[in-house]
């Protein structure tokens, strides 16, 4: 570059710099870092971009250092790489413990990265195991106690949920659907209308609780994300079934049970209350062959049952862990179960809930007697499984709902 | 046989008479998607008024149904014309970080490079964690009348869980670890939004847009095949989140153009955080420095990295400006100086 070219370039840089409006916050920051007046302009005149200046300001480069660098013609965004030296655990080589599953989040829980604390104290969104910034805003999480929410199984279940994912649009053979008798098709559609709403509501509800859970329990949050995605797909698959074979949507689901979920004040209360429906729906879908009218429905219920089994596994282990850690809170759980059972009994008695099931089990509205008997058998199975699931969670229900008791004859 | 205590005596069966319009959706090229069932009285076009009961669109209202608390009564508050297609695409394109990333192929890297990658992943796994909370926070406010928007956000929650996990895996798989927290990234502003559209513009369009522009430079940032693949797979997901936000903004502006100034106001504030704010704020020193090392190819080539970093910023800002143009929000003459300096003339 000739001298005249260099002078022209320098003048051009000065002209350009003169046209750049320097934001007030950059000036404020510079003042905090004791930059002399005019130093920002000098940097711009020397051809540094505003971004580089800002970089230096964010990097806490003090005025003296910045001036020194500019005098030497160097970069003002001088890195010091302090983050390379933070005292976190280094040298981690996680390896897949089960080659079939690949590298799982469970495989990462080694060394200090596997410490899942009983109480998590950091109120920011810091990744568990990274080096904390000393002063941070409170992000507003409310759940900091492992005893309230944790179950070890959420770690493997997260990866299993991903492995077992399915897609309703292509994994179910929609072309195989054949017309059904009118009353049966409408019974399927009514059941689908109800279940689609229940699934969608459960997804929306759980989603709303995610921002309450702190990073200490990362794996649980990841697992809950799979649950939310599972029930989203259930809501969608059920709707598709209702709208693909000559029927439509029927009457919306009863709202008594969902409202009691909505009313929960804490996440552990929600999980206890939801335990009842999670168990009942698992048994329902496990018995899907009895209500299915074709292969598509059999497949759909089986896939839903497989997803719901993971939720139940978490629910059981969470409750067991909770009761073990917080034995004083055992009796309190009876209150939540009691409320939830009462609402469920009310909904089971709703004709728009039980009649479609009786039609499907019996094989038509003219075979309601047989359908009702079979439904009674299914309800009994649901309650037995529920009580058994509670027992697996080391909970023995002291005042099981009277109607449930009648059903299981005890 | 004892009387069944949970089956009422007598029959009602009146619900059998609710079906006036037979729905017979048939599968299309991509199977039976939400698009095929979006027809007649069940379609989003046939949406009636708002509903606070979680009644799914097209279902018959149950007399006496409880309300569940306030939600958006108008479709334009939450809707995006592509949410149906994006949800189905999300179900088709789920991937598994456990198996779809060739972890076995990772080889030891020079210490400074490994540290830079681990620092970047530490920041990203933190950012992605919030990216799940933010849509989660808004799901209860979406009416089931607009359930496809809700389903899409649930698929986003799944995507963000996978991103949270894949960057944590990367940090812990190759002899490294997590490094410095990325506090100061402006993530809280995403949770501070008090309106769905405000949230969507700040998160989907701005923050995820910046992240996406970065992921799209993953071929330059990633030093190994596995790293490049992580960025590619994540970018595929981010493109859906971004597309939802751009089309939501467009829908709002098309249906409620008076909101433009209000939306500018949110962005004025967010962009006032000098660098652009939000989770795409790559000017935080540990992020900036690690990116420059990766882009340059080592500490020795830091200055080269800075130049590439400036290209990345340029790309981020220009793509952001373009997305706003597409949505119908002309902000080119409203950008603050820190952004304006990067914007190319149209
Ligand atoms: Fe993400
Ligand atoms: Fe995203």
Chain A contact for B157 (CB, 8 A cutoff): yes
Structure tokens at B244: 């939802």
> What's residue A4's pLDDT?
56
List the one residue out of B302, B222, B122, B107 whose CA is nearest residue A90: B122
* Counts for chain A of helices (H) and strands (E), in that order: 18, 0
> What's residue B277's pLDDT?
46
A176-208 residue pLDDT tens: 999 999 999 999 999 999 999 999 999 999 999
The mean per-residue pLDDT over the stretch A19-38 comes to 84
What share of chain A has pLDDT > 70, as a percent? Answer: 93
B279-301 residue pLDDT tens: 445 667 888 899 999 999 999 99
> What's residue B5's pLDDT?
55
A72-81, A109-118, A223-232: lowest mean pLDDT where? Answer: A72-81
The mean per-residue pLDDT over the stretch A376-387 comes to 98
> What's residue A184's pLDDT?
98
* Phi, psi dihedral angles at A305 (to 5 degrees): -65, -40
For residues A127 and B129, the answer to whether their CB atoms sit within 8 Å is yes
A43-47, A359-363, A379-383: lowest mean pLDDT where? Answer: A43-47
The minimal CB distance from B136 to the residues A81, A140, A207 is found for: A207
Measured CA to CA, the distance from residue A309 to residue A117 in angstroms comes to: 27
Which residues lie at CB < 5 A from ion ligand 2? B 131, 208, 238, 241
Cβ partners under 8 Å of residue A351, min gap 6: B8, B11, B12, B13, B15
The minimal CB distance from B54 to the residues A50, A201, A406 is found for: A201
Question: For residue A26, what is the nearest residue in chain B, using CA coordinates?
Answer: B274
DSSP one-letter code for B204 = I
The mean per-residue pLDDT over the stretch A273-302 comes to 98
Residue B306 and residue A77: Cβ atoms within 8 Å? Answer: yes
What share of chain B has pLDDT > 90, as a percent? Answer: 82
pLDDT band for position B338 (cuts 50, 70, 90): confident
Residue A349 and residue B160: Cβ atoms within 8 Å? Answer: no
The minimal CB distance from B181 to the residues A131, A196, A356 is found for: A131
Chain B contact for A24 (CB, 8 A cutoff): no
Structure tokens at A11: 């003048």
The minimal CB distance from A174 to the residues B31, B96, B184 is found for: B31
Helix (H) or strand (E) holding A281: helix A267-286
A132-141, A328-337, B27-36, B295-304: lowest mean pLDDT where? Answer: A132-141
Q: What is the DSSP string of A337-397?
A: HHHHHHHHHHHHT-HHHHHHHHHHHHTSGGGHHHHHHHHHHHHHHHHHHHHHHHHHTT---
Q: What is the DSSP string of A208-268?
A: HHGGGB-GGGHHHHHHHHHHHHHHHHHHHHHHHHHTSSSB---BPPPSHHHHHHHT-SSHH
With 80 as the cut, is the pLDDT of residue B272 above it? Answer: no
With 80 as the cut, is the pLDDT of residue B6 above it? Answer: no
> What's residue A38's pLDDT?
86
Cβ partners under 8 Å of residue A150, min gap 6: A116, A217, A220, A318, A321
Distance from residue B281's CA to the centre of ligand 2 (Å): 15
How far from chain centre, in Å, is Cα A354?
31
With 60 as the cut, is the pLDDT of residue A292 above it? Answer: yes
- As assigned by CATH, the class of the B75-340 domain is mainly alpha
The minimal CB distance from A169 to the residues B32, B153, B306 is found for: B32
pLDDT band for position A12 (cuts 50, 70, 90): low
> What's residue B2's pLDDT?
44
Distance from residue B265's CA to the centre of ligand 1 (Å): 25
A3-17, A382-396, B225-239, B250-264: lowest mean pLDDT where? Answer: A3-17
CATH number listed for the domain at residues A146-408: 1.10.620.20
Distance from residue A162's CA to the centre of ligand 2 (Å): 18
Interface test with A, best of B1, B6, B19, B175 (most A CBs within 10 A): B6
With 70 as the cut, is the pLDDT of residue B313 above it? Answer: yes
The mean per-residue pLDDT over the stretch B26-37 comes to 97
Residues of chain A within CATH 1.10.620.20 domain(s) are 146-408
For residues A403 and B5, the answer to whether their CB atoms sit within 8 Å is yes
What share of chain A has pLDDT > 90, as a percent? Answer: 79
Residue B137 and residue A208: Cβ atoms within 8 Å? Answer: yes
pLDDT band for position B342 (cuts 50, 70, 90): confident
Domain-wise residue ranges, chain B: 75-340
Q: Which of residues 260-299 of B touch A (CB under 8 A)?
A: 272, 274-275, 283-286, 288-290, 292, 299
> What's residue A16's pLDDT?
60
For residues A119 and A325, the answer to whether their CB atoms sit within 8 Å is no
B89-128 residue pLDDT tens: 999 999 999 999 999 999 999 999 999 999 999 999 999 9
> What's residue A279's pLDDT?
98
Residue A101 and residue B147: Cβ atoms within 8 Å? Answer: no
Region of A93 on the Ramachandran plot (φ > 0 left; ψ -120 to 50 alpha; else beta): beta
- Indicate the average pLDDT of chain A: 92
The mean per-residue pLDDT over the stretch A318-330 comes to 98
Q: What is the DSSP string of B134-177?
A: HHHHHGGGS-GGGHHHHHHHHHHHHHHHHHHHHHHHHHTTSSB-
With 90 as the cut, is the pLDDT of residue A52 above it? Answer: no
* Phi, psi dihedral angles at A336 (to 5 degrees): -70, -45
> What's residue A286's pLDDT?
98
Chain A contact for B191 (CB, 8 A cutoff): yes
pLDDT band for position A74 (cuts 50, 70, 90): low
> What's residue A62's pLDDT?
81
With 50 as the cut, is the pLDDT of residue B276 above it? Answer: no
Asked if this assembly's ipTM is beyond 0.95, the reply is: yes
For residues A340 and A273, the answer to whether their CB atoms sit within 8 Å is yes
What share of chain B has pLDDT > 70, as a percent? Answer: 94
* Phi, psi dihedral angles at B236 (to 5 degrees): -60, -40
């Amino acid at each position: 570059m000739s001298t005249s070219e260099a002078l022209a370039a320098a003048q051009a840089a000065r002209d350009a710099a003169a046209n750049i409006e320097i934001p007030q916050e950059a000036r404020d920051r510079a003042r905090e870092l004791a930059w002399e007046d005019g130093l920002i302009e000098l940097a711009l005149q020397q051809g540094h971009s505003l971004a580089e200046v800002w970089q230096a300001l964010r990097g806490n480069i003090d005025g003296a250092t910045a001036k020194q660098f500019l005098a030497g013609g160097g970069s003002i965004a001088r890195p010091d790489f302090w983050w390379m030296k933070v005292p976190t655990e280094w040298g981690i080589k996680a390896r897949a413990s089960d080659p079939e599953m690949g590298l799982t989040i469970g495989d990462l829980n080694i060394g200090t990265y596997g410490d899942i604390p009983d109480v998590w104290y950091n109120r920011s969104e810091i990744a568990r195991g990274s080096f904390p910034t000393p002063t941070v805003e409170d992000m507003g999480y409310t759940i900091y106690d492992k005893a309230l929410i944790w179950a070890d199984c959420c770690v493997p279940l997260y990866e299993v949920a991903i492995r077992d994912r399915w897609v309703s649009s292509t994994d179910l053979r929609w072309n195989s659907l054949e017309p059904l008798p009118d009353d049966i098709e409408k019974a399927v559609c009514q059941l689908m209308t109800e279940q689609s709403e229940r699934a969608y509501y459960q997804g929306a509800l759980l989603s709303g609780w995610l921002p309450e859970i702190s990073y200490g329990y990362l794996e649980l949050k990841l697992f809950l994300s799979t649950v939310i995605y599972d029930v989203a797909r259930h809501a969608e698959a059920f709707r598709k079934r209702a709208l693909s074979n000559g029927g439509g949507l029927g009457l919306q689901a009863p709202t008594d049970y969902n409202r009691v979920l909505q009313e929960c004040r804490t996440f552990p209360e929600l999980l206890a209350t939801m335990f009842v429906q999670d168990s009942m729906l698992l048994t329902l879908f496990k018995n899907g062959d009895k209500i299915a009218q074709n292969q598509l429905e059999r497949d759909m219920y089986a896939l839903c049952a497989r997803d719901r089994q993971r939720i139940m596994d978490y629910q059981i282990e969470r409750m067991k862990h909770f009761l073990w850690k917080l034995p004083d809170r055992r009796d309190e759980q009876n209150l939540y179960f009691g409320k939830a059972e009462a609402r469920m009994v009310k909904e089971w008695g709703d004709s728009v809930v039980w009649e479609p099931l009786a039609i499907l089990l019996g094989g038509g509205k003219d075979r309601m007697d047989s359908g009702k008997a079979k439904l009674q058998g299914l309800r009994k199975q649901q309650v037995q499984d529920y009580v058994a699931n509670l027992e697996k969670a080391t909970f023995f229900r002291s005042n099981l709902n009277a109607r449930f008791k009648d059903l299981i004859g005890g | 046989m004892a009387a069944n205590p949970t089956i009422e005596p007598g029959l009602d069966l009146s619900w059998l008479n609710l079906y006036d319009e037979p729905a017979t959706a048939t599968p299309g090229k991509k199977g039976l998607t939400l698009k095929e069932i979006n027809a007649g009285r069940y379609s989003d076009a046939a949406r009636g008024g708002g509903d606070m009961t979680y009644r799914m669109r097209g279902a018959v209202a149950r007399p006496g149904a409880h309300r569940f608390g306030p939600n958006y009564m108008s479709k334009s508050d939450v809707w995006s014309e592509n949410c149906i297609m994006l949800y189905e695409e999300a179900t088709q394109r789920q991937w598994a970080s456990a198996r779809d990333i060739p972890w076995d192929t990772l080889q030891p890297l020079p210490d400074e490079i490994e540290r830079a990658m681990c620092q970047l992943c530490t920041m990203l796994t933190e950012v992605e964690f919030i990216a799940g909370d933010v849509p989660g926070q808004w799901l209860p406010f979406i009416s089931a009348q607009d359930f496809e928007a809700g389903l899409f956000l649930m698929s986003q929650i799944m995507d963000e869980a996978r991103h949270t996990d894949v960057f944590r895996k990367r940090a812990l798989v190759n002899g490294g670890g997590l490094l410095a927290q990325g506090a100061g990234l402006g993530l809280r502003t995403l949770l501070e939004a008090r309106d769905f559209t405000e949230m969507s513009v700040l998160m989907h369009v701005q923050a995820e847009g910046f992240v996406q522009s970065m992921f799209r430079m993953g071929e330059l940032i990633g030093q190994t095949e596995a790293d490049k693949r992580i960025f590619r797979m994540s970018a595929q997901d981010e493109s859906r989140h971004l597309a939802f936000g751009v089309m939501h903004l467009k829908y709002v502006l098309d249906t409620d153009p008076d909101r433009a100034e209000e939306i500018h106001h949110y962005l004025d504030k967010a962009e006032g955080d000098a660098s652009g704010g939000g989770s795409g704020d790559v000017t935080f020193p540990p992020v900036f420095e690690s990116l420059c090392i990766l882009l340059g190819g080592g500490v020795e080539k830091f200055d080269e990295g800075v130049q590439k970093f400036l290209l990345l910023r340029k790309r981020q800002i220009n793509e952001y400006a373009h997305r706003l143009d597409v949505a119908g929000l002309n902000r080119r003459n409203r950008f603050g100086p820190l952004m304006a300096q990067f914007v190319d003339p149209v």
